[in-house]
Amino acid sequence: MIIREKHNWLRMLFVWRGSILKDILPRLVVLFLFSLLVVFFREELSAYRVSFNPVPFTFIGIALAIFLGFRNNASYDRFWEARKLWGALLNTTRSLARQAITMGGLPENSKQVTSFVHLLIAFTYALKHQLRQTNATPDLERLLPNPLAAAVGQHQYKPIRLLKELGFWVRQAKEEGRIDAITQTAFDHNFNVLSDIVGGCERILGTPIPYPYSLLLHRTVYAYCYLLPFGLVQNSGWITPLFVVLVGYAFMGLDVIINEIEEPFGLEPNDLALNNMSRMIESTLLEMINMPAPTYPKNENLYLVD
């Protein structure tokens, strides 16, 4: 995910990093060349009556813009819900770490508390890898004892397996008399929240916007952009390619942005910065038990700031 400081209006015109222009530039070039051909052969096209009144394009453009707006809202709702779920993950892991430190009857740097915090961190990384369908083994081996890392690595739903391990930790603390039944219930409530977070993320990942809906809009955008030169050529002449490219930039660009954010857990520049959020959770939990946070180089899918 790219976050930049806000520039003045002039500099914003020339921003390249984080812009979708580089993704749609080849399409705009093709559209521009096609529009030039339409203008160049406008006399021949006029002889065959291959031209349109621009009025219908006005109404179609308005309808298309409304349609794009509705789909943009649907995609952004998915993006924002995913962000709220990861915000809830940060809050819940902090609450669980605090409970283990203050209610477990052990020093904050004890082996048992450290083990619990590392389970929470491993849970976060396991969820990230599950959503991106990447290999979680390096993070599991870094955070967990080797036998447990190997056992968790064999499971398909690794965060749920780690959630069970967290439950075992609380059960052992109850059996040893370090927590009472009320405290155990408080832990269990937060474990249920973690389970809900995993389920919410899986729902977003496994239920994309219906494909025919996206396909219909995609085809309509490109059909409109490539028919537009025929509607403008008689009145606009050689300025037609410029108008067409500006309209194409708006419609094609919005179509690309919508496709990016409707799957918020991916690796596109405008997807959620799961690497950075996972590391933030790791840093804040380690700080709670007075352990140094690891340093990471700035790389893909962090909050990139120029």
What's the distance, CA 90 to chain centroid? Answer: 16
Evaluate whether 248 touches 26 at the Cβ level (below 8 Å): no
Q: What is the DSSP letter of 14?
A: T
Which three-class secondary structure state does DSSP give residue 2?
strand
Compute how many other C-beta atoms are within 10 angstroms of the C-beta atom of residue 284.
Answer: 15
Both tokens assigned to 200 = 């919410």
d(CA 130, CA 277): 15
CA atoms within 13 A on the CB side of 97: 26
pLDDT in tens, the chain (306 residues): 655 556 665 666 667 666 778 889 999 999 999 999 988 887 776 766 655 677 778 888 888 888 888 888 999 999 999 999 999 999 999 999 999 999 877 777 789 999 999 999 999 999 999 999 999 999 999 999 999 999 999 999 999 999 999 999 999 999 988 889 999 999 999 999 999 999 999 999 998 888 888 888 889 999 999 989 888 887 778 888 999 999 999 999 988 888 888 899 988 878 899 999 999 999 999 999 998 888 776 554 444 433
pTM confidence score:
0.85
